[in-house]
Structure 1
Amino acid sequence: MLPIILCSVIALAITVERYWTLRVSKVRPKDQLPQVWSWIKKHELDSEKIKQLKQSSLFGYVLSAGLTSSRYGRDAMKDAIQEAGDHAAHEMEKFLSTLGTIAAISPLLGLLGTVLGMVDVFTDIMIQGTGNTAVLAGGISKALITTAAGLSVAIPSVIFHRALSRKIDELLVLMEQDSAKLVEAIHAENSGQKK
């Protein structure tokens, strides 16, 4: 039971931490892209603003990578955004593999506890015989509790792992769409100025 309880505490901590960290307002603030576009329009975008943008959020990190590479052309900007997006995805997926592992091993730990409990039951049968049904029922009950505990940790862990994975995918798609808009807008404006 001790490893199952430890798994439940870790799973709960990861779930709370990831939901707190992956808030949309923290990862991809709504006002960030309009702010960047305002800086570009007013010619206020400088290295200090890019540094500030980079440190503000994961989306800001992705945008700053693209803006830093914008002078090298559309392809360089897209490559920089893709690379920064991969880094952002890695940051958002932090601890999810641990949560998935807990979801996978918790039922196995419960099953192990059940098997060990059944071994104790059969040891009691050898010592006392089959006449004392209360001892047998109590031993079997204790053995099955570990399976129930393992499943009660695994099921929420699977649900939250899937939900968090989905949330990360949605955030990445939104970041990718907004970054593509910025690339197109900057290079459309640059090609308009060249004419």
Structure 2
Amino acid sequence: MFELISSGGWLMIPIIGCSILSLAICMERLWELRAKKVAPPDLMQNVWGWLKSGAMTAERMKELRASSPLGRVVVAGLNNARHGREIMKESIQEAASEVIHDMERFLTTLGTIAAITPLLGLLGTVIGMIKVFTEIMIQGTGNASVLAGGISEALITTASGLAVAIPTLIFHRYFQRKVDSLVVEMEQQAVKLVEVVHGERTVESGK
């Protein structure tokens, strides 16, 4: 493996660095974007129960806010419920914007890695072919081992760049779709919350 990497030339260093960074981001996002962590299934049921019984205390709201991104959105709405429906909706939207920004953390970096690693591989290809033609100019076409070395360097960097870019692009698209799905779920719960608080929906139907 080391010989394969070293034969790819110095451009293998940034390609390997991109692969390590991509793996770290994917692992972190897989952990942070779990549905039960972002929008726990029992969270709204607990909220409905506390609202119905009048047990929504300041301490519970503090715990709710710290529990999950959905909890942050819910608490933002409840804190401004007394100011009317529109103010409550605006506060929910503001909190949701912050939550979405946090959920999309590192996705731009992941997309950048997916875009630049094939270009790094292509650059390696160009450099390798330049070496091949330089050796042809100096030694002619008689030294096959020198020519094979330059071509090998070109092919290894290209393959490595694609090997990093393809799974990175797949995970980037997956995480984007995951964020979109979670946002839709939180929006639905936020709408129910507004309607329950302002008497347009019963707590039972809000479950």
Q: 1:133 deviation in Å?
A: 2.1
1:41 aligns with 2:52: yes
Q: Distance in 1 between matches of 2:26 and 2:200?
A: 43
Equivalent in 95, 104, 111 of residue 93 of structure 1: 104
Equivalent in 64, 67, 72 of residue 56 of structure 1: 67
Q: Which residue of 1 aligns with 2:121?
A: 110
Q: Distance in 2 between matches of 1:6 and 1:96?
A: 17
Q: Which residue of 2 aligns with 1:26?
A: 37
Residues 32-89 of structure 1 show CA distances to partners (whole Å, capped at 9, x for unaligned) of 0010111111111121111111111000000000000111111111111111111110
- List runs of 5+ in structure 2 lacking aligned partners: 1-11, 203-207
Q: Which residue of 1 aligns with 2:189?
A: 178
Of 182-191 and 172-181, deviating more is 182-191
CA RMSD, aligned part only? 1.4
Q: Which residue of 2 aligns with 1:124?
A: 135
- In the superposition, the TM-score normalised over structure 1's length comes to 0.94
> Amino acid of the residue matched to residue 115 of structure 2?
A
Q: Distance in 2 between matches of 1:95 and 1:134?
A: 43
Q: Distance in 1 between matches of 2:106 and 2:191?
A: 28
Q: Which residue of 1 aligns with 2:174?
A: 163
Q: Distance in 2 between matches of 1:190 and 1:184?
A: 5
- What is the SS of the residue equivalent to 1:188? coil
- What is the SS of the residue equivalent to 2:54? coil
1:148 aligns with 2:185: no
- In the superposition, the TM-score normalised over structure 2's length comes to 0.89
Residues 140-195 of structure 1 show CA distances to partners (whole Å, capped at 9, x for unaligned) of 1221110111111111111100000000000000000011011101111699xxxx
Q: Distance in 1 between matches of 2:29 and 2:133?
A: 44
Q: 1:31 deviation in Å?
A: 0.5
Q: Distance in 2 between matches of 1:46 and 1:100?
A: 43
